[in-house]
Amino acid sequence: MGAQSDSTLQSVLLFPLHLLIWLYSLISFLPWYFITSAGQKCSQSKRMKARSTSGSPEGPYRSVDHFESLATEDFPGKDTLDKLFQHAVQRFGPADCLGTREVLSEENEIQPSGKVFKKVILGEYRWLSYQQLDAAASEFGSGLAALGQQPKSTIAIFCETRAEWMITAQACFRRNFPLVTFYATLGEDAIAYGLNETAVTHLVTSVELLETKLKVILPQISNLKHIVYVDQRKVSSEGFPAGVSIHSMQAVRELGAAPENRLEIVTPQPSDLAVVMYTSGSTGRPKGVMIVHSNLIAGMTGQCERIPGLGYSHHARWDSTSHFIYLYSYKTKCIFEYMVWMKHHVTVFGVLSTVADFSTGRVGAPLICCEIQLRDWTEGGYTSKDQPNPRGEILIGGPNVTMGYFRQDGNNQDFFVDEKGQRWFCTGDIGEVYPDGCLQIVDRKKDLVKLQAGEYVSLGKVESALKNCSLIDNICAYANSDQNYVVSFVVPNQKRLTELAKQRGVEGKWEELCNHPEMEKEVLKEIKEVAAKIKLQRFEVPVKVRLSPEPWTPETGLVTDAFKLKRKELKNHYLTDIERMYGRK
């Protein structure tokens, strides 16, 4: 009786609070509904977003917003990057264009997970207007021409993302200098390979990269004649190979500003090469992707159509109220992984928020500049006749598809096909198209391994799923077709594993903990628990594990500069462990 009385009293006391919450929800719902256009977004989410142009389940699929043809440009006649930038200068001349914030100080902060984040304290923005950027690009381009840079001859930039990078790019686009780009985190061997493959004579870089990465490989670069550094501080010319001249960016701009160096500008055509963008080389040597002006114009057209509220006359400006940012202790890992993904995918598929698609795991419909097609992969069990939705390898076609890889005919034959006048890029991703035309990536072709008993295992899927384990910082799944189970190499979370070792009474240095059989069992135990929660198939779950005391960084050669796994190198590195885990030793 007493318990029932207490329960009644509690209900009475809580009633006003429940009523207040209900009233607040009711009153705030209508303003939220109309201000955020929630109803409109909901209807957009449910609408048809793409459909097959052929009526067949394999496609090609196009956006219903530009179904009759693929979009190539936003502004008629602005079909090259230099024309588009000049158009922006005319419209927004004195408006802020490029903002730079000075790094005032840096400090490390240790997170509860044990990872170290770098806190960077930044100053206020210093802005260049469109007109100022235009003038700087004009002077720098003229200066490069005065130093012998020729139209349609490649020039390289190896530099961090900064205002000078964009000034260099606009100078090159204007004068039809194809720009060869490298990650600022790319290794020395990859840089040397790319510079020699493209036979550049001029290179733009920063003082830090010049002194830490470039100087040691310069004797290997046969054609290089001029190096331009973008920083203010002076660089000594001592220690550089004979025949290589060192210039500051300011000196080159002053050279270009001289009346006698105002040479005639040879502007590019839409079909001219704009960029050779080197990838990180996860499967071997880095590959240079050839991108012409029309590719970039079409890609931007597709992206801009998906940015809500961005009209043709809109000047985008993002202000930050915060004066500090956080970076991983791995410096560029998370930033570059994100940038690489966006580089490959945002010009093809719609990002969830920009296609009004609220379904988990889907990447949206094709942008208006491209179309997608599904190619059957019967070996992996994916076909356009699959139920309930067609599946297959994703092929991308359209004016934003690049010209292929620089001087790598073998890779071009593997990754590009021409069919009925359309050029298709074979992504290696396995996709599923839903009835509303939205695409979901469900697998990765090259990561699929057939086990001895005939089951197919997607290594990428296993790795992505098991990174949810709190004990795991990084993981590489491995499977041998002659065996019937999966094994794995794991970089454990040092803080969590050390704490667990103390709880289990295991003592020793970090390397000793990683080599301890008891700790391997603990990691496998958590792997199995996580795998059960996310419903991995039994044959997909690693049966054995090797704990690695050292993290995988580009310096170890086990991951790319974008921190993607190098499977071949990892296999060779852990070959003895693989033989042990498969019982051969």
Comparing C-alpha atoms, which of 263, 308, 289, 304 is closest to residue 84? 304
Task: Look up residue 285 and give its two tokens.
Answer: 């040597």
So what's the pLDDT on residue 317?
Answer: 46
Distance in angstroms (rounded) separating the CA atoms of residues 257 and 568: 51
**pLDDT tens readout for residues 470-505:** 899 999 999 988 888 999 999 999 999 999 999 999
pLDDT band (50, 70, 90) for residue 26: confident
pLDDT digits (tens, 9 = 90+) for 125-138: 999 999 999 999 99
Q: Which of 56-70, 334-348, 455-469 has the lowest mean pLDDT?
A: 334-348
Strand 439-444 relative to strand 422-433: parallel, antiparallel, unpaired? Answer: antiparallel
Selected residue with higher pLDDT from 319 and 530: 530
Residue 128, beta-bridge partner list? 98
Model pLDDT, residue 5: 63
pLDDT 10s digits, 462-476: 998 898 888 999 999
Q: Comparing 94 with 335, which gets the higher pLDDT?
A: 94
Name the percent of the chain lying above pLDDT 70: 85
Instruction: Give the confidence band of 338 by pLDDT, cuts at 50, 70, 90.
Output: very low
Residue closest to 148 by CA, chosen among 245, 234, 71, 267? 245
Residues 296-309: tens digit of each pLDDT: 999 999 988 887 66
Beta-strand runs (E) in 211-307: 226-229, 245-248, 273-278, 288-292
Q: Three-state DSSP class for 97?
A: strand
Strand order in the sheet with 544-547: 472-479, 486-492, 544-547
CA distance 151 to 512: 59
Alpha-carbon gap, residue 162 to 209, rounded angstroms: 14
pLDDT band at 295 (very low <50, low <70, confident <90, very high): very high
The confidence score (pLDDT) of residue 353 equals: 28
Confidence class for position 457, pLDDT limits 50, 70, 90: confident
Q: Would you say the pTM of this structure is higher than 0.75?
A: no
40-54, 209-223, 429-443, 568-582: which has the minimum mean pLDDT? 40-54
User: 299: number of CA atoms within 13 Å, CB side?
Assistant: 19
- Arithmetic mean of pLDDT, 546-567: 88
- 24 CB contacts (<8 Å, ≥6 apart)? none
Q: Tell me what the mean pLDDT of segment 324-343 comes to.
A: 32
Q: Which residue has the higher pLDDT, 163 or 325?
A: 163
Question: Cα separation of 347 and 402, whole Å?
Answer: 11
Backbone angles phi, psi at 250, to 5 degrees: -60, -40
Q: What average pLDDT score do residues 61-76 get? A: 92
Distance CA 27, CA 39 (A): 17
Q: Which helix H or strand E contains 179, and what residues bound it?
A: strand 179-181
pLDDT value of residue 113:
60
**How many Å apart are CA 385 and CA 388, to the nearest integer?**
9
Q: How confident is the model at residue 289 (pLDDT cuts 50, 70, 90)?
A: very high
Count of C-beta atoms within a 10 Å radius of residue 57: 17
Backbone angles phi, psi at 367, to 5 degrees: -65, 165
pLDDT at residue 340 in the model: 32
DSSP sequence for 110-154: E-TTS-EEEEEEEEEEEEEEHHHHHHHHHHHHHHHHHTT--TTS-
Find the mean pLDDT for residues 345-372: 58
Q: Given a cut of 80, is residue 283 above it in pLDDT? A: no
Q: Which pLDDT band, with edges at 50, 70 and 90, does 318 fall under?
A: very low
Q: What pLDDT score was predicted for residue 280? A: 65
Q: What is the mean pLDDT of residues 101-120?
A: 78
Task: Compute the distance between CA of residue 252 and CA of residue 145 in angstroms, rounded to an integer.
Answer: 10
- Token pair in block for residue 119: 């806190």
pLDDT band for position 344 (cuts 50, 70, 90): very low
Element at 24 (helix H, strand E): helix 2-35
- Which domains does the chain possess? 52-71+336-445 (2.30.38.10), 128-268 (3.40.50.980), 451-581 (3.30.300.30)
- How many residues are given for the chain? 585
Q: pLDDT digit string (tens) for 513-546?
A: 999 999 999 999 999 999 888 888 888 999 999 9
What does the pLDDT look like over 209-245, one tens digit per residue? 999 889 899 999 999 999 999 998 888 778 888 889 9
H/E element, 99 = strand 96-110
Give kind and range of the element (H or E) at residue 503: helix 494-504
